[in-house]
């Protein structure tokens, strides 16, 4: 089993890259999806977040993600606290999923995690792919995908690392400003290199 990290800022296009790698045969684990599942039902994690951030649970006891987002996306220190508190839960659930995929025959597993380096999850990976895109492209994607205002989309981007962060840390970098065909070509080239990693 070979774990390949996939990371990048919001709106860079990690999901589109993940789809390309799934088509090539990779198993995939999405850390955000793992986190969403935990937000709905992990009592220990939810109690930890409520203790740290106050009234962030819904009446049903799930995490009120929009309310928490308003607290952390405009405050980098609080975002760091959120990452540190949630990472152990996300890591444990992700590792369980890695094992399931390996048992089903996947030899390469793509771990899509926006905060891969910040949480130390890059240590799980044989290599890391960073996905980058221009600021305007990312803002447009976030507005389209999440229905946010331009100001809110820009604030989300500004709370995250810049392009240089990914270029300096990732073994592979995909620039996702072009067509789907150009993206697929980059993914295929990286896939050939990944297959050679011992």
Q: What is the pLDDT of residue 76?
A: 81
Residue corresponding to tokens 């935990």: 38
Section 127-156 average pLDDT: 95
Contacts of 135 (CB under 8 A, 6+ apart): 157
For residues 34 and 90, the answer to whether their CB atoms sit within 8 Å is yes
Q: Cα–Cα distance between 9 and 25 in angstroms, integer? A: 24
Residue corresponding to tokens 């996306």: 73
pLDDT above 90 covers a percentage of the chain that reads: 82
pLDDT band (50, 70, 90) for residue 154: very high
Q: In this structure, what DSSP letter does residue 75 have?
A: -
Q: What is the pLDDT of residue 79?
A: 86
Section 171-175 average pLDDT: 96
Contacts of 152 (CB under 8 A, 6+ apart): none
pLDDT band (50, 70, 90) for residue 73: confident
For residues 29 and 95, the answer to whether their CB atoms sit within 8 Å is no
Find, among 132, 137, 180, 140, the residue nearest to 160 by Cα.
132
Three-state DSSP at 145 gives: helix
Q: Cα–Cα distance between 11 and 90 in angstroms, integer? A: 21
Residue corresponding to tokens 């045969």: 25
Find, among 41, 68, 35, the residue nearest to 52 by Cα.
68
- Given a cut of 90, whether residue 74 has pLDDT beyond it is no
Task: Express each pLDDT in 126-141 by its tens digit.
Answer: 999 999 999 999 999 9
Three-state DSSP at 38 gives: helix
- Given a cut of 80, whether residue 198 has pLDDT beyond it is no
Q: What is the pLDDT of residue 134?
A: 95
Section 148-152 average pLDDT: 93
pLDDT above 70 covers a percentage of the chain that reads: 100
pTM of the model: 0.86
For residues 21 and 145, the answer to whether their CB atoms sit within 8 Å is no
Find, among 28, 133, 9, 167, the residue nearest to 79 by Cα.
9
Section 56-63 average pLDDT: 91
Q: Cα–Cα distance between 87 and 121 in angstroms, integer? A: 9
């Amino acid at each position: 089993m070979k774990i390949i990290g996939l990371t990048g800022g919001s709106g860079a296009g990690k999901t589109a890259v993940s789809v390309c790698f799934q088509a090539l045969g990779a198993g995939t684990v999405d850390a955000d999806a793992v986190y969403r599942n935990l937000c709905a039902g992990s009592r220990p994690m939810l109690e930890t977040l409520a203790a740290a951030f106050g009234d962030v649970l819904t009446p049903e006891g799930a995490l009120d993600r929009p309310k928490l987002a308003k607290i952390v996306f405009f405050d980098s220190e609080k975002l760091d606290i959120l990452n540190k508190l949630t990472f152990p839960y996300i890591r444990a659930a992700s590792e369980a999923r890695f094992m399931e995929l390996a048992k089903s025959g996947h030899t390469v597993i793509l771990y899509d995690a926006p905060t891969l380096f910040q949480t130390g999850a890059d240590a799980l990976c044989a290599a890391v792919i960073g996905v980058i895109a221009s600021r305007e492209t990312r803002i447009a994607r976030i507005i389209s995908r999440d229905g946010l205002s331009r100001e809110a989309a820009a604030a989300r981007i500004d709370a995250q690392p810049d392009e240089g962060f990914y270029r300096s840390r990732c073994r592979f970098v995909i620039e996702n400003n072009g067509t789907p065909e150009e993206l697929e070509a980059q993914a295929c080239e990286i896939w050939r290199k990944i297959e050679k990693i011992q």
